[in-house]
Amino acid sequence: MSGIDVRPISGALGAEVHGVQLGDPLDNATMDAIHRAFLDHLVVFFPEQRLTPDQHKNFARRFGPIYIHPMVEGMEGHPEIIRVVREPGERTNWGSKWHMDGGFAEKPPLGTMLHAQQIPPYGSDTMWTNLYLAYDALSDGLKRTLEGLKAVHASGAAARYESKYKGMKSKAAEASQAIHPVIRTHPETGRKCLFVNNDFMVRFDGMTEEESRPLMHYLFEHSIRPEFTCRFRWKAGTLAFWDNRCTQHNAISDYFPSRPELFDSPRIMHRITVEGDRPV
C-alpha cells in the first residue's frame, strides 16, 4: 500500500497525484506507485510540494542521473537545475512551442521535472500531448510507411534557448543534432509512439527539407490533435514530471498586455531533466 491517490485530468493523459511529499524519504512501495502512475499517465502533477533544490535533485535521481542542458546555464550553486524565468512584461516564456526536451541529443532526456516557484494569478498553462495515441490513430498504411524511417533533430544555436529572456543565460555551446526513428518503442512499456518533435525535427534522414516538409507537417499537426492533449493550470508548489519519451509539451505564452495582473507577474520554474537512452 503506497497511500497515494491518482486522479486523471483528461481522457488522453495527465494525472494529479495526492498524498505524498516528494522531499520526504519515500519507501519502495510509494516509489513503485509513483513510477506506475508516471508510465500510465505520462505526466503527473504533485501539488503543494515543499521541496528544496537538494530534495528536488534527490527525487530526480531516483529515476536516473541528472541530464545537464548543453546550452543553458544552471542555477548558482545548483548547476543541475535550470531556473526558467519569464520576467514581468516579457511576451513569451521558455518552451512556448510544441516540442520534446533535448531531442537533438543522441540520448534525449527520459523525463523532465518542473517545480513551480512563482506563477501568475491565471494564464501561462502548459499543454502535453500523448504520442502513443497519435501513433495508434494512424492508418496501417502510414504506419508501414513510417516504420524504418528516421529523422534529423537539430538544436540550432545556443542563443535560441534564452536570448529572449532577461532572466536566463546560455553557455558557449556548439549546435548539435541527432538522428532518431520516427516510430519509437518505449523502453519501459514496450508501446510504440509517434516520435516527432515539432520545434526541432528538420527533415527525414536521407531526404531534403523540401521533400520532407509535407509529410512532416502532417505528422506535426496530427500529433497535437486536441483529443490527444491535456492542459494544466499551475499553482506555486506544484511539481510536474513528464515522460519525455512519448509526449510533447507547449508552455503557452498568453501574456497579453491588456491583462496587467497577468502581464506584470513573473513566472519562475525550477527544471531538472533525467538522462534517457538512445531511441529505438
99 catalytically annotated:
yes
Pick the stretch among 5-13, 64-72, 97-105, 210-218 that binds Fe ion (CB under 5 A): 97-105
Least Å from the CB of residue 193 to Fe ion = 17
Name the residue nearer to Fe ion (CB basis): 95 or 108. Answer: 95
Q: Does 108 bind Fe ion (CB under 5 A)?
A: no
40 catalytically annotated:
no
Q: Does 101 bind Fe ion (CB under 5 A)?
A: yes
Chosen residue from 14, 95, 123, 276 binding Fe ion by CB under 5 A = 95
249 catalytically annotated:
yes
Q: DSSP character for 69?
A: P
Catalytically annotated residue among 41, 83, 86, 99: 99
Q: What are phi and psi of 149, to 5 degrees?
A: -80, 140
Residue 189 and residue 219: Cα distance in Å, rounded?
23
Q: Does 123 bind Fe ion (CB under 5 A)?
A: no
Contact predicate 151/201, CB 8 Å = yes
- Strands 247-251 and 267-274, how do they pair? unpaired
Least Å from the CB of residue 102 to Fe ion = 9
Q: Does 243 bind Fe ion (CB under 5 A)?
A: no
Residue 270 and residue 13: Cα distance in Å, rounded?
23
Residue whose C-alpha is closest to residue 2's, from 33, 25, 23 = 33
Q: Does 111 bind Fe ion (CB under 5 A)?
A: no
Chain-centre distance for alpha carbon 22: 19
Catalytically annotated residue among 115, 249, 267, 270: 249
Q: Does 276 bind Fe ion (CB under 5 A)?
A: no
- What does the binding site for Fe ion look like in residue numbers (CB under 5 A)? 95, 101
